[in-house]
């Protein structure tokens, strides 16, 4: 019951934030350079045809009216039509988001599976132990280099020199038909449908972009787990458990549970960042996800597409923060709302 109340109250906050986001998105897109009517018509546009298009797009109306029309459409799930692809933006995004999400979600999952144990081991062995001598320099290095550069170096080593993986050209080999769509994530779908040919092709193409993300974004997870564990291991209840004679294993597990909230926070931050930030890795591997779509849209002054992407990405991060707060609630019984 407490949880339901908490969720309800927390959701109330989401509404004004979502409105704020839609206003910012709307204003931001209006100040972008480039005339959408010109983009649509090309250089041969005449005065009257420009006017006709502007009328059709509602660009001749005052800003507040444009915003109202926009918000009405969004509420009905209509994000407008892309000027470049000619498709509804919602469909474009639904087509491309799974590719981006597959990359980010699998990347963060692997980073967690590697990062938490590494952080715990480093915290347990202290600042003079060998794990610290490995994880500290690694954290420093991984935190300082651009992810797209890491991707390029991995391509050089594992594609060009070792030839272990296919060329970095998209999610699936041309000629191999993608698996039947369930989630839209190629690797997941090919497993679900038992399509092994598609799995081999898409899986092998996922390795390098995934490795890139894992290499760069495991570092902050290790760092956060380690410092949070350090703190918890020094707290009174650990001494208490030690005095009670609990096994080291069970003490570490209990300490880990209490050390998790900051790790959940950093995970939420990374997810929010990667929604947009993964575009750099997407470009390196010609991934064709939502991020690449957004960059293309910005280059072409494709208003509706930019608006749609930024809106969806911001709403996704809002939801992420909501989930983070809920996880806190689940992990820390002291929190009352």
Partner 1 sequence: MAQPAVLADIEGPTPKGGLSRELAYFWYFTRQDRLFLVGLVIVGLSIFLAAFGPYIGPYGPQEIDSASGVALTGPSGDHWFGTDNVGFDVFSRVIAAPRIDLVIALASTALALAIGVPLGAFAGHFGGRPGIPSLLSEALLRVLDVLQAFPIFILALALVSATGASQGNVIAALTFLQAPVFVRLTRGAALSNESKLYVDAARCSGAPERAVAFRHVLPNSLAPALIASSVAVGQAILITAGLSFVGAGVPIPKAEWGLMISQGANQMILGKWWPSLFPGLFLGITVMGYALVGEGLRKFLDPTNRI
Residues that bind partner 1 (CB under 8 A): 16-17, 20-21, 24, 28-29, 31-33, 140-141, 143-146, 148-149, 152-153, 155-156, 159-161, 167-168, 272-273, 275-277, 279-280, 283-284, 291, 294-295, 298-299, 306, 309-310, 313-314, 317-318, 321
Nearest approach, Cβ of residue 101 and partner 1 (Å): 13
Neighbours of 5 (CB within 10 A): 10
Q: Output 28 or 113, the one with its CB closest to partner 1.
A: 28
Site of tokens 């809920």: 326
Least Å distance between CB 181 and partner 1? 26
Q: State the nearest-atom distance from the C-beta of 149 to partner 1, in Å.
A: 4
Q: Which is nearer to partner 1, 21 or 106 (CB)?
A: 21
Q: How far is the CB of 21 from partner 1 (least distance, A)?
A: 6
CB of 157 to partner 1, least distance (A): 9
Nearest distance in Å: CB 13, partner 1: 9
| Nearer to partner 1 among residue 20 and residue 58 (C-beta) | 20
Nearer to partner 1, 94 or 140 (CB): 140
Cα angle 285-179-270, degrees, rounded to a multiple of 5 = 45
Are 71 and 22 contacting, i.e. CB atoms less than 8 angstroms apart?
yes
Question: What is the closest distance, in whole angstroms, from the C-beta atom of residue 39 to partner 1 in the complex?
Answer: 14
Residue labelled with tokens 């950093």: 266
Residues 328 and 198: their CA atoms lie apart, in Å, by 39
Name the residue nearer to partner 1 (CB basis): 14 or 52.
Answer: 14
Q: Which one, 80 or 291, has the nearer CB to partner 1?
A: 291
Q: By C-beta, is 179 or 291 nearer to partner 1?
A: 291
């Amino acid at each position: 019951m407490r949880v339901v109340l908490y969720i309800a109250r927390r959701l109330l906050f989401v509404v004004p934030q979502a409105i704020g986001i839609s206003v910012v998105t709307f204003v931001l897109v209006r100040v972008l350079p480039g005339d959408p009517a010109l983009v649509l018509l090309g250089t041969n546009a005449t005065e009257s045809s420009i006017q006709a298009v502007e009328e059709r797009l509602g660009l001749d109306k005052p800003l507040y009216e444009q915003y109202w029309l926009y918000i009405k459409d969004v509420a009905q799930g209509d994000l407008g039509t892309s000027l470049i692809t000619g498709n509804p933006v919602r469909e474009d995004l639904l087509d491309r988001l799974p590719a981006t999400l597959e990359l980010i979600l699998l990347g963060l999952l692997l980073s967690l599976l590697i990062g938490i144990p590494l952080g715990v081991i480093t915290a347990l062995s202290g600042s003079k132990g060998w794990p610290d001598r490995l994880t500290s320099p690694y954290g420093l290095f991984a935190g300082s280099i651009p992810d797209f550069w890491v991707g390029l170096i991995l391509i050089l080593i594992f594609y060009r020199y070792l030839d272990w993986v296919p060329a970095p050209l998209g999610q699936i080999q041309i000629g191999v038909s993608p698996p039947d769509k369930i989630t839209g994530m190629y690797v997941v779908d090919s497993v679900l449908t038992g399509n092994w040919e598609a799995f081999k092709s898409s899986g092998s193409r996922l390795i390098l972009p995934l490795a890139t993300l894992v290499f760069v974004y495991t570092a902050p997870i290790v760092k956060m787990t380690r410092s949070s564990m350090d703190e918890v291991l020094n707290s009174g209840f650990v001494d208490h458990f030690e005095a009670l004679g609990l096994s080291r294993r069970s003490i570490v597990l209990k300490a880990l549970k209490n050390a998790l909230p900051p790790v959940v926070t950093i995970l939420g931050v990374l997810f929010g960042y990667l929604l947009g930030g993964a575009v750099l890795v997407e470009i390196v591997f010609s991934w064709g996800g939502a991020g690449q779509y957004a960059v293309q849209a910005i280059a072409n002054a494709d208003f509706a597409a930019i608006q749609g992407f930024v809106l969806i990405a911001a709403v996704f991060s809002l939801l992420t923060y909501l989930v983070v707060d809920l996880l806190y609630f689940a992990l820390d019984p002291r929190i009352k709302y």
